[in-house]
Amino acid sequence: MNLEYSEDVLAFRDELREFLEGWPLTGDEAKLALEEQRRLFRERGIERGYVYRDMPKKFGGSEQPSDAVRDRIVKEEYLAANAPGGLIGQGPGMLAPTLMEFGTPEQQERFIPPTLAGDMRWCQGYSEPGAGSDLASLQSRADLVGDEWVINGHKIWTTTAHEADYMFGLFRTEPDASKHAGISYLLLDMKAPGIEVRPLKEMTGAAMFNEVFFTDVRAPADHIVGKRGEGWQVSRATLKHERNLIGDPNAMHRAFRNLIDLARRTKRGGRPAIEDPSVRQRLAEIEGYLLCQEFTGSRMFTAGARGDHAGVVMPMMMMKLYGTDLQQLLTRAACDLVGDGFLLAPTVEEGSHGGPQGTDGAWVSSYMNAIAVSIAGGASNIQRNIIGERALGLPRDLRSA
C-alpha cells in the first residue's frame, strides 16, 4: 500500500493543471459559441496527449502509452476543472473501442474519427419490450436481401435516440440458430426511412429514453461488426468498455457532501438536524458504505494497473449492486431530511439529467432516479444471480434453453 503519487506522476499532474488553467477560454476565443470553444479545447487536449489516450492518432486519438495512473489523474483533473475532455457517451465510450477490437479497417476509418470528433452521435439498440433481463431472447430481425439488411422490430430504453445519427444494435439475423447464436451486431443510420423514434416520459417528468420502431429499414450489408451470429460475443466484449462511461468516480462523494449540507440546514425541533443523534448515526452508517465503495474502487484500479484482473473479479461483479444500494440508502436519508418537500413534484430542470443539485426538488428527482438505477444496466436481482453463480459457484437457475 502506498497512496502517494510518484515524483514523475506529480510533475505530470502539475503540467496538466497548468494546461487546464486555459479553461474557460479567454480573450477573443471566449466570444466563440460554447460548442466551438469545447471543440477547440478538446483539440488542444488531444495535441497534448490528455484526451483519447488509448485511441490511434490516425483516428483522432492521442495514442499514449498505456498508463492507468495517468489516465486516472487526467480524468480527475478534467472533472475538477469542469473542462471539456474526450466526449463521453455511447459512441466514444462503447462503439469506438468495440470497432478497434472487432471492426474492419474500413469501418474503423469511416466511423471512429467522426465519433471522436462529436460529429457522429450514437445510441445503443439492445433492449426490447419482450427482452429485458433476458436480452438474448430479442426478436427485432434483420434479413439480408441482396446487398442490404432489411430490419423490422422495436427497441426500447434507447437513451439519446432522438439526437443520435447512428445506432449500434443487436438484431436476429439467423432465425434458425439457437438463441444466442442467432444475433448480429449492426450499425444503422438513424435517418434511414422506416425509423420512428418516440420519447418515453419517465416518472420524474424527464424524457431520457425512447422507443425506436423499425419498418423495412435498410442498411448496407457491410454494416455488420464481427461475423453473422457473433453479435452476442461482440456486445459482451463491449461491456468491458462500459467503464469508459462510468463518468465521475467522485459523484457519490459529492452526493454525500450534499447530504451533509442538507442535514446542516434542515431543522429538527429548532436545531440543525445534523445535531440529532439518530441523523448522525444514519449519516455515519452511510459513510461506511461510501468508503467501502471508494476503497474497493481503488483496489480494483491497482489490480487493473498490475494486470491482476483475476484478483478482483469478485468485487467487480459486486460493484453495480453495491453502488445501487448505496445510492438508494443515500437518497432515502435525503428523503427523510427533506420531509414535506417530498410532497412536491420537481421542476423540469430539477428532473432532468445534469440539472441543479441540492434543492428539495433535486433530491426528489435523485430519489426516484436511484430507484431506476436498480434496473438500468442489469437489474439488481440479475446482479445477485451473477454474483451467486459466477463469483460464488452456486448453481445456475433452472431455466428453459
Residues with a catalytic annotation lie at 242
User: Which residues, in sequence order, are CB contacts of 68 under 8 Å at separation 6+?
Assistant: 301, 304, 305
292 touches another protein (CB under 8 A): yes
Taking CA atoms, 116 is separated from 71, 122, 268, in Å, by: 17, 11, 51
**Binding-residue pattern over the window 59 to 98 for another protein, x denoting contact by CB under 8 A:** ----------x-----------------------------
Q: Name the one residue in this structure whose C-alpha cell is 435498410.
A: 218
**3-state SS, residue 171:** strand
> What letters, b where the CB count within 10 A reaches 16 and e where it falls short, cover 40-52?
bbbebbbeebbbb
Q: Name the one residue in this structure whose C-alpha cell is 486516472.
A: 72
Count of chain residues binding another protein (CB under 8 A): 51
Measured from the CB atom, the residue of 27 and 395 that comes closer to another protein is 395
Residue 4 main-chain phi, psi, to 5 deg: -100, 150
For residue 187, count CB atoms less than 10 angstroms from its CB and return exposed for 0-12, middle for 13-18, buried for 19 or more.
buried
User: Which residues, in sequence order, are CB contacts of 271 under 8 Å at separation 6+?
Assistant: none
Residue choice 159, 244, 357, 385 for contact with another protein (CB under 8 A): 385
Element housing 149 (H / E): strand 148-156
44 touches another protein (CB under 8 A): no
Measured from the CB atom, the residue of 57 and 306 that comes closer to another protein is 306
339 touches another protein (CB under 8 A): no
Measured from the CB atom, the residue of 30 and 291 that comes closer to another protein is 291
Measured from the CB atom, the residue of 88 and 260 that comes closer to another protein is 260
Q: Give the other-Cβ count within 10 Å of 88's Cβ.
A: 13
133 touches another protein (CB under 8 A): no
Measured from the CB atom, the residue of 42 and 53 that comes closer to another protein is 53
Tell me the closest approach of the beta carbon of residue 138 to another protein, in angstroms: 23
25 touches another protein (CB under 8 A): no
Measured from the CB atom, the residue of 233 and 302 that comes closer to another protein is 302
Tell me which stretch binds another protein (CB under 8 A): 148-156, 161-169, 231-239, 383-391: 383-391
392 touches another protein (CB under 8 A): yes
Contact 223, 188 (CB under 8 A): yes
Tell me which stretch binds another protein (CB under 8 A): 118-126, 224-232, 292-300, 367-375: 292-300
298 touches another protein (CB under 8 A): yes
243 touches another protein (CB under 8 A): no
Residue choice 301, 352, 373, 375 for contact with another protein (CB under 8 A): 301
Residue 43 main-chain phi, psi, to 5 deg: -60, -40
132 touches another protein (CB under 8 A): no
How many Å is the Cα radius of gyration of the chain? 23
